[in-house]
Amino acid sequence: MTTLESLARAVPADIIISDPDVMDRYLHDDAEWAPYGTALAVIRPRETAEVVAAVSWCIENRVAVVPRGSGTGLSGGANALAGCLVVSLDAMDQVLAVDPVERTARVQPGVINDDLRKRVAENGLWYPPDPASAPWSSIGGNVATNAGGLCCVKYGVTSEYVLDLEVVTGTGKLVRIGKRTAKDVAGYDLRALLVGSEGTLGIITEITVRLLPLPPAATAIVGYFDSLVEAGQGVANVTVAGVIPSALELVDSYCLRAVDEWKNMGLSAEAEVILLAATDVPGAAGEEEARTIVHAFEEAGATFAAVSENAEEADAFFAARRLAYPALERLGPVLTEDICVARSKVPEVLAAIQEIGERHDTVLAQIAHAGDGNLHPLLVTPVGDEDARRRAQAAFEDIIAVALAAGGTVSGEHGIGLLKREGLAAELSTDVIDMHVAIKRALDPHGIMNPGKVFEMPAAG
């Protein structure tokens, strides 16, 4: 009996994909130049029992498991390993229950972020985490990387909304961790441990998330700047003013042009960089907050700063922010950074990033969740230009070094995957890495759960 025949006895044959041409789209995420191998097979389970059966089969047959959601990741965390079993959770895409009294939703991991938002809006509720990939990324993937997004400056990241999880562990057991109660300090916070673990500790098969009431319509504020440093100072000024906007995003002119050339949105900004802010505080307090943001921009040297009176224009700018990455992908391979620094450090780090791009002769576009210091420099290279690729990769490493020197982190929301393993090793002490290794070995004793991602496991003993 072949290995595939054995797998077909463990799980339903109709969820197994072994045709190489069909498998190809499941073998990697959107991380440019992150390596991937050819899987033994891909399965698309429809229910938790099929995931349990698949993991048990992998333990018995010593086959690595690589879980994946929608494949929108940018760190290689979902990339296949040679001979592995890819478990694609995109078919487990049901919103199982919405509780408007407790303000919770129970979902399968394949539910798309925007689809959950639309569903709970029917009950006057809101799921705040909103990565730029929200129209395409899944809740399971968001949980696996602890995704943030445009609203996280005020409302926080995914981990702050996950109440409990159903998980298939590396030992093939099905467990539920966390509570749906308002408080829970019973034992270690295993829920928080699993959020952001990138499939290295188990496969998440069900998620209960906390919801908020729908916020009021937001007021947008736009600032134009002649330089990244001035825009960075605008971010720092907003922080000093004590304002917490519901969004504070940075987009440079290169990104705006790329989006406009793709979507013909009629965008125009006589500036090198724009800051997009929003406040969802109602009434006079919101008006005062908007004026404070405008003043903060002006004090930083904005050539133009104002509350947007045209809702369509404001929506277009925020839409451009979300479309920046796919627009740039049309121009060539894009290597995406995800560093995060203190907001007071944003001006100097943006200046350093700009210098790195010039030094390595690399086209470097800038977008950022600027309000919480999460910077996403995008390194764009021509198709097939190997020398440009090498320069971009060198710039990538230099940007990580700048973030760490500024007291920041190598990843704010995209995860470590394959691309940031060396950066993580530089960020964490040896003793802390040893703690990670001990947890991994305890929860994945067979070493089958997404091995090689986040950090390299040293040999046992």
Q: Is 117 in contact with 95 (CB distance < 8 Å)?
A: no
**Distances from the Cα of 87 to the Cα of 111, 125, 128, angstroms:** 15, 31, 27
pLDDT above 60 (res 117)? yes
Give me the pLDDT at residue 461, please. Answer: 46
In 284-358, DSSP assigns E strands to 304-307, 334-336, 339-340
Q: For residue 382, which phi and psi values (nearest 5 degrees)?
A: -65, 150
What string of DSSP letters covers 91-149? T---EEEEETTTTEEEE-TT-BHHHHHHHHHTTTEE-----TTTTT-BHHHHHHHT---
Q: Which of 88-92, 108-112, 252-256 has the lowest mean pLDDT?
A: 252-256
Q: How far apart are CA 379 and CA 366, in angstroms?
A: 9
Task: State both tokens at 348.
Answer: 């100097």
pLDDT above 60 (res 296)? yes
Neighbours of 289 (CB within 10 A): 23
Give me the pLDDT at residue 333, please. Answer: 93
Residue with tokens 């917490």: 244
Give the mean pLDDT of the chain: 94
Q: Is 114 in contact with 135 (CB distance < 8 Å)?
A: yes
The CATH class for the domain spanning 332-456 reads alpha beta
pLDDT above 50 (res 422)? yes
Q: pLDDT category, 267, cuts 50, 70, 90?
A: confident
Q: How far apart are CA 412 and CA 131, in angstroms?
A: 12
Q: What is the pTM of this model?
A: 0.94
Secondary structure (3-state) at 189: coil
Greatest Cα-to-Cα distance within the chain, rounded to the nearest angstrom:
73
Residue type, 341: V
- Counting other chains too, the contacts that 101-107 makes at CB distance below 8 Å and 24 or more residues apart are 102/180, 103/210, 103/211, 103/212, 103/213, 104/163, 104/180, 104/208, 104/209, 104/210, 104/211, 105/208, 105/209, 105/211, 106/206, 106/207, 106/208, 107/139, 107/206, 107/207, 107/208, 107/209
**Distances from the Cα of 213 to the Cα of 126, 127, 163, 266, 374, angstroms:** 6, 9, 17, 34, 26
The CATH class for the domain spanning 216-328 reads alpha beta
Q: How far apart are CA 93 and CA 70, in angstroms?
A: 11
Which strand ranges, in their side-by-side order, compose the sheet holding 16-17? 16-17, 41-43, 85-88, 65-68
DSSP label at 73?
-
**pLDDT single digits (tens) 328-342:** 999 899 999 999 999
Beta-bridge mates of residue 446: none
pLDDT above 90 (res 320)? no
pLDDT above 90 (res 99)? yes
Task: Please give the helix or strand (H or E) that residue 206 lies within, else none.
Answer: strand 202-210
Neighbours of 39 (CB within 10 A): 24
Q: pLDDT category, 268, cuts 50, 70, 90?
A: low
Average pLDDT over residues 2-26: 96
Q: How far apart are CA 324 and CA 115, in angstroms?
A: 21
Burial class for 129, CB neighbours closer than 10 Å (0-12, 13-18, 19+): buried
Domains of the chain by residue range = 3-88, 95-213, 216-328, 332-456
Q: Angle at which helices 386-405 and 346-359 pack, to 10 degrees?
A: 150
- Counting other chains too, the contacts that 388-396 makes at CB distance below 8 Å and 24 or more residues apart are 388/362, 389/33, 389/333, 391/360, 391/361, 391/362, 392/335, 392/360, 392/362, 393/33, 393/335, 394/360, 395/356, 395/357, 395/359, 395/360, 395/362, 395/364, 396/335, 396/337
**pLDDT single digits (tens) 131-179:** 989 999 999 999 999 999 999 999 999 999 999 999 999 999 999 999 9
Average pLDDT over residues 52-61: 98
Provide the percentage of residues in the chain whose pLDDT is more than 70.
99
DSSP label at 44?
-
Q: pLDDT category, 460, cuts 50, 70, 90?
A: low
Which CATH number fits the domain 95-213, given the four candidates 3.60.15.10, 3.30.465.10, 3.30.420.10, 3.40.190.10?
3.30.465.10
Give me the pLDDT at residue 263, please. Answer: 86
Same-fold call for 216-328 versus 332-456: yes
pLDDT above 70 (res 398)? yes
Q: How far apart are CA 129 and CA 48, in angstroms?
A: 25
Q: Angle at which helices 228-240 and 346-359 pack, to 10 degrees?
A: 160
The CATH class for the domain spanning 3-88 reads alpha beta
CA atoms within 13 A on the CB side of 75: 31
